[in-house]
Structure 1
Amino acid sequence: MALFNKVLARIGIGAAKVDTKLYKDQLTAGSKIEGVVEVYGGNIEQEIDSIYLQLFTSYVREVDDKKVKQDVMLNNFKITNPFVITPGETKQLPFSFELPKDTPITMGKTRVWVATGLDIKNAVDPQDVDYVNVLPNKMVSAVIPAMEQLGFRLRQVECEEAPRRMRKRLPFVQEFEFVPTRGPYFGKLDEVEVIVQPDGQDQYELLIEVDRRARGLGGFLAEALEMDETLVKTTVHERDTAHVKSILDQLISKYS
């Protein structure tokens, strides 16, 4: 019977199981994510080489002119040394790590999750997935209402593959796409895309792409050649969030 149980455990039947419980599933990037990993022994004694936590999100990239979704690991954590779990035993292993500051917020189609896995020799590695709700940081919380006050509506939030010149640690950026629905930019602009990236302690880099509406033959030619788009960049400190509306207005009006 013991040999039979070992064979079953190797294919995941009657083997150890894992369940991660997050103390909080609503967090801001840069804050601590804490919880406990519970490991439940199966029908036989098994040696666990390691327990790992991997933080994931996904982004859109183009492959052969088609948009595909690509998962990407934001961080990887090993939380224990090798140990043995006996049949029916339960082990609780607390953990704590920082949610990276460049973790995208979970708006639109963006999802962020923690994948937990047990590394077991000669057996199927059990896994568990827990989703995290990443709330807007101080800068994003200031940018969205500021754009709305300027007459824009947030149309889409999406993580997209970034050109190499715009990449930092990650291969993508999170874009906030706004369209004018009223105010001074209505009828002048097609859309404005804003990218908010952490840039050192308590400051952020704002990349703003202004897409001007085509006017006349010259305008349509410019739009066809994507010459109607202007990308501008500025750095804003957290203490200046109260002035974000004015900063955005000046930059957008200059290039609209």
Structure 2
Amino acid sequence: MCNLYLGAIFFMSFFKKILASFENSFITANSIIQQAVLFPGKDINIKINIHGKHKKQIISNINLKLYCHYFEKKHTQKDNFFYKKHFIKISRSHTLSNWNLAFPFNIKSGEIRDFNISMNVPWNTPITINNTKVWLETKIHTSMSINSISNKELLTVRPDALMDQIFTVLEEQGLRIRHVKCETIEGFISPFIQKFEFVPTMGPYHGYWREIEIITHRSNNFLKLWFEINRNQTKNSKETLGKLLSIGKLKYQLEISTETCIQEVRNIVLNYINSTLWRKK
């Protein structure tokens, strides 16, 4: 069974459509998303419906972008009294996927035009847990409008089968997700990473670990996981996990082939945790 904690039972809602309508004085547009839930590595199917209003229009461009947000941690000036560095968090957005109409077209008053669009949801699209946000922005440019008309729709992204199995294994060991966030990273394949923070509430690691933090990165052939174990009640590191990864200070990592049978993933993850991470300093 899929992981109930992450809400991965979506069969009944998977076939629902998400509909958004937006307009200006000259056209009305509907953006219809065929899936209620998205999965990394799969496609999102969208239908754009445009209805002409009072007079003939030229639609110069239709643009769709799949976005996510992440946080960048920046130093501010030192405090003159305590001589401590202060940090601020800046929210950034990242384009995951982009689609543009290849040609302009005319639409008459009362005419309806439909466009069926397929966009890929990249493998490392963040899973929408806690405050993590993924959204689709649709923009339509017309000849009679100085500004484009646009719409933003928040989307739900859930883990693929491989990631879901890993989360299930961790939960079976008494680990619960406490916090998930996307943060900036330098010198990596993407400008951000998604960090999952687990705490042991029961099971073999309760009383030994304060928390375990995990970063994941998926390619076509492998899923990589980096681990950081905090055993004390306070964190000693002042660096973010993304910073530690970018400078090579995360020494615990596991690589799983994407061809691995789902049934084997449980043993691979447990063997790694118990042989490499368990009570290691």
Please indicate, yes or no, whether the TM-score normalized by the shorter chain is above 0.5. Answer: yes
1:39 corresponds in structure 2 to 50
Alpha-carbon offset, residue 25 of structure 1: 2.4
2:5 corresponds in structure 1 to none
2:81 corresponds in structure 1 to none
What's the RMSD between the two structures over aligned residues? 2.4
Please show how residues 74-85 of structure 1 align to structure 2 within 5 Å. 74-85=96-107
Letter in 1 for 2:226: L
Verify: 1:61 aligned to 2:72, yes or no.
Answer: yes
Verify: 1:172 aligned to 2:177, yes or no.
Answer: no
CA contact (8 A) 1:35 1:94 kept: yes
Alpha-carbon offset, residue 70 of structure 1: 1.6
Considering fraction of residues, name the structure with more helix. 1
2:231 corresponds in structure 1 to 212
Question: Structure 1: which 5+ runs fail to align?
Answer: 1-11, 215-219
> How many residues of Structure 1 are paired with residues of Structure 2 in the alignment?
233
CA distance in 2, matches of 1:43, 1:101: 43
Structure 1 window deviating more from structure 2 (145-154 vs 69-78): it is 145-154
1:120 corresponds in structure 2 to 142
Verify: 1:241 aligned to 2:252, yes or no.
Answer: no
For the residue of structure 1 that corresponds to 2:278, the secondary structure is helix
Letter in 2 for 1:255: K
1:250 corresponds in structure 2 to 275
CA contact (8 A) 1:18 1:116 kept: no
Please show how residues 216-227 of structure 1 align to structure 2 within 5 Å. 223=236
Task: Summarize the Cα distance change of 1:42–1:248 in structure 2 as closer, same or farther, 3 Å threshold.
Answer: farther
Aligned identity (percent) is 25
Considering fraction of residues, name the structure with more strand. 1
Question: Structure 2: which 5+ runs fail to align?
Answer: 1-22, 77-86
1:104 corresponds in structure 2 to 126
1:131 to 154, 159, 162: 154
Letter in 1 for 2:206: F
TM-score (norm 1): 0.81
1:29-85 C-alpha deviation (Å, 9 max, x unpaired): 111111210112232322111111100111122234112322221111113410012
CA contact (8 A) 1:30 1:101 kept: yes
Task: Summarize the Cα distance change of 1:194–1:13 in structure 2 as closer, same or farther, 3 Å threshold.
Answer: closer
1:158 to 174, 181, 190: 181
TM-score (norm 2): 0.75
CA contact (8 A) 2:69 2:133 kept: yes
